[in-house]
Chains A and B, each alone.
Chain A
Amino acid sequence: MPAPSSAVTTFPALARWLLALPVAGGVWLLAYSHLGEFADALTGALQLSRATHLGEAVHFFLFDTAKVLLLLTGIVFVMGIVQTFFAPQRTRALLAGRRVGVGNVLAASLGIVTPFCSCSAVPLFIGFLSAGVPLGVTFSFLISAPMVNEVALVLLFGMFGWKVAALYLAMGLLVAIVAGCVIGALKMERHLEDWVQKLQSGQALAHADEAIGWVERFAAGWAHVKDIVGKVWPYILLGIGLGAAIHGYVPEDFMASFMGRDVWWAVPAAVVLGVPMYTNAAGIIPIVEALIGKGAALGTVLAFMMAVIALSAPEMIILRKALKPTLIATFAAVVASGILLVGYVFNWLL
């Protein structure tokens, strides 16, 4: 007997989800509001007093780890569901033929909610172009998607507060939009690889959107949680561990001397340092923690983080299959300059 089609949502499965979610939500809220007590209890159980360096560091570690893991689980689950509404096909349709400017803003924003894996960068890029999405708009999407994602935002929010997360979001979108506009204005379509230029416009999509029910959406959310938290938890422990050590032990002004806002070359140095490095959003968090924890200027640190994520050697190598070297160089230069500018502006504004 053939399996039921994925579009048919069986009642028992849906009912299970609709019952489980409010319960899970309740447990989550309960846990989140009692983080302090949890950390206190566990620190006490380890026979440590918060008055000591070690006790304070351990308490910080327990509190922040629990907080970040809870936040990550909750938000990644929601984002997993949101992403099911924004399959690349839909994003592509939304962006096709858009005017420059509006299109760039839309593309950068959609980059946040559209699921994106760095190996899909080229198929996505070409797929967008062949559907009539302008080159600059496609670049706005390509810049924002890996950089402004929910993992980075949740981790920044959980570890440094909403202001830092909001700043990163604003900076990321700004760089994506402006860089996309600039690249579009340079009219570099000739610098796409020949086989890309020859691709038929309006190439039909291989298969129609699959109808997807709420059971599949919830399942996708949960799969996303397992995937992300499964990959990211070591970095969280490392980052918070580092933060805890700094919190308890490193003297105040250690970092300020060379990464502080008064040093004019801090931002360019951060960007230059960041470009050859490669890691995902979570991996950079321990370093961000170390820098911010003791005096580095916020704009500089976020610029560094963006440079590391947005400009990565593996992505450049993959893009080389579709873009000629001039275009890749332009892409890297425009994004790096954008990050630099934004880093300076935010240091100056704060």
Chain B
Amino acid sequence: MKSVKVLGTGCANCRTTVTLVEAVAREKGAPIELEKVEDLPAIMGYGVLSTPGVVIDGVVVHAGGVPARSKVESWF
């Protein structure tokens, strides 16, 4: 099961990303453990420069803006 973290301080883009990731994962039937990281020191620990960011199994796969659907689909 993939561990997916969405990094963001809580603005609209971050929430949209969470919804998008959940929806795509459900469509593909991929089991994921989704976590929203809002704590700034934790976010900075991943070294991202812009939020929203997406981390899958410890690797940053996206940072900055809501990811394109095709990109999210390629993760699962």
Contacts and interface: CB of A to CB of B under 8 A. Distances in A.
Interface of A: 3, 6, 87-89, 92, 115-120, 122-124, 126-127, 195, 199, 203-207, 219, 223, 318, 321-322
A116 B11 CA distance: 13
B63 interface: yes
Interface in B1-51: 8-11, 13-14, 40-41, 43-44, 46-51
Contacts of B59: 207
B11 A118 contact: yes
Nearest to A5: B74
Contacts of A116: 50
A123 B60 contact: no
A87 B49 CA distance: 9
Contact of B14 (A3, A115, A119, A204): A119
A203 B47 contact: yes
Interface residues of B, number: 28
Contacts of B70: 3
B11 A123 contact: no
Contacts of A6: 71
Given A199-B44, A206-B63, A120 B10 contact: no
A140 B45 CA distance: 24
Given A117-B13, A318-B9, A205 B49 contact: yes
A172 to B, nearest CB: 21
Given A123-B44, A322-B40, A88 B60 contact: no
A127 to B, nearest CB: 4
22 contacts: A3-B73, A6-B71, A87-B64, A88-B49, A116-B50, A117-B51, A117-B65, A119-B8, A119-B14, A120-B49, A120-B50, A120-B64, A123-B43, A123-B48, A123-B49, A127-B48, A203-B47, A206-B53, A206-B60, A207-B59, A207-B61, A322-B40
Nearest to B7: A123
Given A119-B8, A207-B59, A318-B9, A124 B65 contact: no
